[in-house]
């Protein structure tokens, strides 16, 4: 079953789904990520301007982005349940634009941005991001993305300018269980 | 001929999973030296599995599970020669996923013949040859690749290789059985896109669904020694005579030929 069709459970500390056939619990985001979400947000907002966030999740990074001095905040969200959460979150927030859909499918409807943060789940089009990213960036724009690797490398194979190593203490999950997080940074 | 049913040894059965790390590909996963023992349960939905998934941030993750069963065949009578055998495992859903049965005789699950399944049995020494690149598959005895897994009983007839594994095993006679995914694990083929191929099966229970081995055997008088008198020998005096002659080094027909045993 594709992720878009999963029924999600939202708690104060996490988002997860249970595979009914295998009875496995799959966490897709947890609140132990606060520190790294802030670092991602602060990096792409360090020059202000127009910000694109691909994947809303628990809205942790969105809150940190809003705490910065920016011109606009565009969020692309694929999963309908999370999209509804994003809409609720955006109420009374000026300059926020929520887009429902697969970022790759809606890419031609997007503009260009000063900062981009990519953090998705189950994205089969992730392999295209390396090629598409330059077309979404303004000159000298800043990009960062979720990194599952425990080295100065990443699953998207985008050559980063640098990595910020952040100590973390993850709760039990199946997607990240290291004690250091290598946050990639790239200026276009 | 006689028949005997042997239940799987309860603490030498179960499944072991290898969850690939973020940067580990399929080869890394299936060639890992150990995995994680899945907590004991009567039924498991993923004990034989090949999985590729896209998770956080577009990361590709792989998981592989293998199941292991140890059969203590010491209850076979002395001199028993197995002529046929059936490995039976009860399936739980997920019908039609291809898996393969593999056998080995001389090892035992648990490190160096230990008493319980261990994480190292994922790539256990008992199956070292079968999992090597050179003769991988030589000891395959049956597969779900030519049929489908049933939700009920699935019977795998041992081929000559499997039967010989028992007959030639060191004392006590034994048989190790592994179930692995056929298309991706056994065939060493990385899934090219997201999938979750799995077989669900019953493990040891006190009920009627436990994995078992049913063996057909006959007592071979050829196996008797000249120094011991047994009922079988008493009824096969001609064979006893041939054995005596052979020990004297004379050129006579083999005892098995005289006795009609191949």
Residue by residue, pLDDT tens for chain A (188 residues) are 789 999 999 999 999 999 988 888 999 999 999 999 999 999 999 999 999 999 999 999 999 999 999 999 999 999 999 999 999 999 999 999 999 999 999 999 999 999 999 999 999 999 999 999 999 999 999 999 999 999 999 999 999 999 999 999 999 998 999 999 999 999 99
Pairwise CB contact (< 8 Å): B57 & A146? yes
Burial of B22 (0-12, 13-18, 19+ CB in 10 A): buried
How far is B34 from B19, CA to CA, in rounded Å?
A: 10
B144 and B233 inside one domain:
no
Between A and B, how many CB-CB pairs are < 8 A?
71
Residues in A closer than 8 angstroms to B194, CB to CB, are: 124
Confidence category of residue B243, pLDDT binned at 50, 70, 90:
very low
The number of folded domains in chain B is 2
Confidence at residue A185, expressed as pLDDT on a 0 to 100 scale: 98
B29 and B158 inside one domain:
yes
Determine the residue among B23, B56, B94 to mutate to test chain A binding: the one whose Cβ has the most chain A Cβ atoms within 10 Å: B56
- Closest C-alpha to B130, from B156, B154, B165, B155: B165
pLDDT in tens, B71-111: 999 999 999 999 999 888 888 766 556 777 777 766 667 65
- Name the minimum distance, in Å, from the CA of A15 to any CA of chain B: 12
B200 and B234 inside one domain:
no
| Residue B200, both tokens | 């669900």
B110 and B173 inside one domain:
yes
B255 and B233 inside one domain:
yes
Confidence at residue B222, expressed as pLDDT on a 0 to 100 scale: 57
Q: Is B83 on the interface with A (CB under 8 A)?
A: no
CB of B121 within 8 A of CB of B67?
A: no
B135 and B233 inside one domain:
no
B140 and B238 inside one domain:
no
Q: Which domain holds residue B236?
A: 221-259
Determine the residue among B58, B60, B191, B193 to mutate to test chain A binding: the one whose Cβ has the most chain A Cβ atoms within 10 Å: B58
The count of other CB atoms within 10 Å of the CB of residue B262 is 7
B205 and B232 inside one domain:
no
- Beta bridge mates, B237: none
Q: Which residues of B203-233 are buried (b: 16+ CB within 10 A; e: fewer)?
A: bbeeeebbbbbebebebbbbebeeeeeeebb
Residues in A closer than 8 angstroms to B53, CB to CB, are: 122
B236 and B165 inside one domain:
no
Q: CA dist B248 to A77, A172, B117, B259, B261, Å?
A: 88, 72, 48, 19, 22
Confidence at residue B155, expressed as pLDDT on a 0 to 100 scale: 82
B166 and B242 inside one domain:
no
DSSP one-letter code for A56 = -
Burial of A139 (0-12, 13-18, 19+ CB in 10 A): exposed
The domains located in chain A, with CATH, are: 3-187 (3.40.50.150)
B58 and B31 inside one domain:
yes
ipTM of the complex model: 0.96
B147 and B228 inside one domain:
no
* CA A57-A60-A66 angle, 5° bins: 115
């Amino acid at each position: 079953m594709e992720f878009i069709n999963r029924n999600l459970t939202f708690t104060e500390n996490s988002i997860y789904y249970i595979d009914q056939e295998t009875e496995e619990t799959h966490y897709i985001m947890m609140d132990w990520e606060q520190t790294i979400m802030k670092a991602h947000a602060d990096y792409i907002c360090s020059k202000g301007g127009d910000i694109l966030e691909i994947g809303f999740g628990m809205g942790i990074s969105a809150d940190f982005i809003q705490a910065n001095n920016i011109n606009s905040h565009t969020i692309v969200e694929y999963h309908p349940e999370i999209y509804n959460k994003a809409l609720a979150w955006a109420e009374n927030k000026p300059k926020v634009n929520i887009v429902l859909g697969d970022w790759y499918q809606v890419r031609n409807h997007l503009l260009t941005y000063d900062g981009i943060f990519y953090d998705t789940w189950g994205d089969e089009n992730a392999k295209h991001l390396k090629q598409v990213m330059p077309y979404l960036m303004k000159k000298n724009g800043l990009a960062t993305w979720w990194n599952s690797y425990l080295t100065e490398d990443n699953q998207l194979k985008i050559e980063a300018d640098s990595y910020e190593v952040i100590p973390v203490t993850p709760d039990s999950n199946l997607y990240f269980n290291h004690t250091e997080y290598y946050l990639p940074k790239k200026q276009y | 001929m006689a028949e005997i049913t042997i239940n799987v040894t309860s603490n030498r059965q179960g499944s072991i999973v290898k969850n690939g790390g973020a940067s580990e590909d399929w080869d890394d996963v299936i060639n890992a030296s150990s995995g994680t023992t899945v907590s004991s349960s009567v039924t498991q939905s993923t004990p034989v599995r090949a999985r590729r998934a896209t998770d956080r941030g577009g990361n590709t993750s792989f998981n592989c599970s293998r199941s292991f069963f140890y059969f203590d065949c010491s209850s076979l009578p002395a001199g028993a020669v197995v002529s046929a055998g059936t490995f039976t495992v009860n399936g739980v859903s997920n019908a039609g996923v291809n898996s393969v049965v593999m056998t080995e005789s001389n090892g035992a699950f648990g490190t160096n013949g230990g008493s319980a399944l261990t994480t190292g049995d994922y790539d256990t020494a008992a199956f070292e040859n079968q999992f090597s690149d050179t003769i991988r598959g030589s000891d395959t005895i049956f597969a779900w690749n030519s049929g489908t897994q049933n939700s009920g009983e699935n019977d795998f007839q041992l081929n000559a290789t499997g039967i010989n594994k028992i007959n030639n095993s060191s004392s006590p006679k034994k048989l190790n059985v592994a179930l692995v995914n056929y298309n991706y694990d056994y065939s060493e083929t990385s899934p090219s896109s997201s999938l979750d191929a799995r077989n669900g099966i019953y493990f040891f229970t006190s009920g009627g669904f436990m994995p078992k081995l049913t063996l057909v055997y006959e007592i071979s008088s050829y196996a008797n020694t000249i120094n011991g008198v047994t009922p079988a020998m008493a009824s096969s005096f001609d064979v006893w005579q041939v054995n005596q002659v052979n020990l004297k080094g004379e050129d006579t027909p083999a005892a098995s030929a005289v006795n009609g045993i191949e």
